[in-house]
Amino acid sequence: MLSMKDSFIKIKEVPTKVGQEVKIRGWIYRERKTKNYAFIVVRDSSGIVQCVLDKSSFSQEKWEEIKKDADVEASVLVKGNVIKQEKAPTGFEIQVSEIKIVGKSPMFPITKDLSRDFIDDVRHLWIRSRKMTSVLKVRSTVFQAIREYFLSEGFYETQSPIIQATQCEGGSTLFEVKYFDKKMYLAQTWQLHAEAVIFALEKIFCIAPSFRAERSKTSRHLAEYWHAEMEAAWEDFEDLQNRAEALVKHVVKRVLEKNKEDLEVLGRDISKLKPVIEKPFVRMTYDDALKILKDKFNFEVPWGKDLRTIEEEKLVSLYDVPIIVTHYPKEIKAFYMKEDPKNPKVVLGFDLLAPEGNGELIGASERETDLEKLKQRLIEQGEDPDQYGFYLDTRKYGSVPHSGFGMGVERIVKWLCGLDHIKDAIAFPRTMVRYYP
């Protein structure tokens, strides 16, 4: 009798076991039954394999059970011999001698050709799909690669509060939280607290959720997203660009190494990702970007306006690597970005734009250290500097040049997996219209 305590191989190992008896466990991905045979494709976290059940190998009672209960998404333990089988989906097949149906699955609600809305309603079941399984594996590699990069560079992993007293990235996207009898907000970023912690640890990073009450329904915005952020004392604007480039390269490299099959399942053309690890990223100023947009596309962007999605898309269409756009006008960037000592109209900040129209992956800057300038910028943006007391203290006691950035994890997953919408880069997305399950 098959039991959970037996030793099972992962389905991806099946091709190495031709001629041998194996045990696998998983869920029925597809099933087709004829009078004398049942063909079931079983999946586990590692892959799929076709299993063939011949009526003559089972008792009458067992065969009745198989016919009745071997439904899509039923969980099963299976024992059988592995053979090569050209006609099977993966080229291999298990000829089943024993099967145990562990959990039945009558009428699994996901069938072919369902609407996107319905699929989002049953997200908790849709995550079992091969598409989502592959995305979630890529996502796991991305988290691991981010940690690898920062830890190997001597950064400490550090946390900051999710419930915060002020904005950092603009009041319009704040989520309010009723905090006892006070009003607080969900974190848009770890940055303000991180800038205090670098005085202890110098080089720090985190991967944590950030929250933005984005009212725009775009394919790149989530209300809750995972944010990989770094902050480093003694690092300047150029160091920061190098770090962003090195981090993205490392993540892409690891995904190409570890997730080849997943990218294949997703139909991702990996030749598009190779230049990213092989070639230097393009770096240009905001002024350069405006000029290129004018010369190549006849787009007239007035100086001082932020680049719109369409303009970013045109710009990145010219290159096969990400672009680092630097020196944006002060007015369109956050209060903490350092004013360029050579030109007070622009800041030492950059956006890193992903290829293939995937938009901003990273927002970054050297930080303003001049206390008076910081206060002035807060006032200009309608904020009360008194609310930022702890933050301003970081400029009063041993202030140092420092820099940091934030990378949207779902943005990079979306790009690497070639997804149409960012909501598929996370298991349970939160958007303006989607908050269940």
Q: For ligand 4AD, which is the closer residue by CB, 94 or 197?
A: 197
Q: Which residue of 26, 80, 355, 408 would you call a contact of ligand 4AD, by CB under 6 A?
A: 408
- H or E stretch including 121? helix 116-121
Q: For ligand 4AD, which is the closer residue by CB, 293 or 407?
A: 407
Backbone dihedral angles phi then psi of residue 221, each to the nearest 5 degrees: -115, 130
Q: For ligand 4AD, which is the closer residue by CB, 55 or 123?
A: 123
Q: Measuring CA to CA, which residue among 281, 290, 283 is closest to residue 311?
A: 290
160 binds ligand 4AD (CB under 6 A): no
Q: Rg of the chain's alpha carbons, rounded to an integer?
A: 26
366 binds ligand 4AD (CB under 6 A): no
Residue nearest ligand 4AD, CB atom distance: 363
* Cβ atoms of residues 71 and 112 within 8 Å: no
Tell me the window of 10-18, 178-186, 217-225, 375-383 that interacts with ligand 4AD (CB under 6 A). Answer: 217-225
Find the binding residues for ligand 4AD in span 45-74 (CB under 6 A). Answer: none
Count of chain residues binding ligand 4AD (CB under 6 A): 24
**Residue 189 contacts which entry, Mg ion, ligand 4AD, none (Cβ below 5-8 A, type-dependent):** ligand 4AD
What are the strands, taking DSSP E only, across 1-73? 21-33, 37-44, 47-54
**Residue 66 contacts which entry, ligand 4AD, Mg ion, none (Cβ below 5-8 A, type-dependent):** none
363 binds Mg ion (CB under 5 A): yes
d(Cα 131, Cα 127) in Å, to the nearest integer? 8
169 binds ligand 4AD (CB under 6 A): yes
Mention every residue, 6+ apart, whose C-beta is less than 8 A from residue 314. Answer: 293, 296, 297, 299
Q: For ligand 4AD, which is the closer residue by CB, 25 or 243?
A: 243
CB of 189 to ligand 4AD, least distance (A): 3
d(Cα 239, Cα 221) in Å, to the nearest integer? 28
Q: For ligand 4AD, which is the closer residue by CB, 48 or 361?
A: 361
Tell me the window of 39-47, 111-119, 134-142, 185-193 that interacts with ligand 4AD (CB under 6 A). Answer: 185-193
Q: Measuring CA to CA, which residue among 93, 82, 76, 75 is closest to residue 22?
A: 82
What are the distances in angstroms from CA 66 to CA 61, 71, 75, 249, 339?
Answer: 9, 9, 12, 49, 71
DSSP state letter for 421: S
Q: For Mg ion, which is the closer residue by CB, 38 or 230?
A: 230
Angle, helix 130-152 to helix 409-417, in steps of 10 degrees: 130
404 binds Mg ion (CB under 5 A): no
**Residue 26 contacts which entry, ligand 4AD, Mg ion, none (Cβ below 5-8 A, type-dependent):** none
Q: Which residue of 227, 330, 338, 414 would you call a contact of ligand 4AD, by CB under 6 A?
A: 227
DSSP state letter for 401: -
229 binds ligand 4AD (CB under 6 A): yes
Tell me the window of 239-247, 294-302, 320-328, 355-363 that interacts with ligand 4AD (CB under 6 A). Answer: 355-363
364 binds ligand 4AD (CB under 6 A): yes
- H or E stretch including 415? helix 409-417
- b/e per residue, 313-332, with b = 16+ CB within 10 A? ebbbeeebbbbbbbbbebee
Which residues contact ligand 4AD by CB under 6 A?
A: 168-169, 188-189, 191, 212, 214, 221-222, 225, 227, 229, 360-364, 404-408, 410-411
Q: Which residues are near Mg ion by CB under 5 A?
A: 363
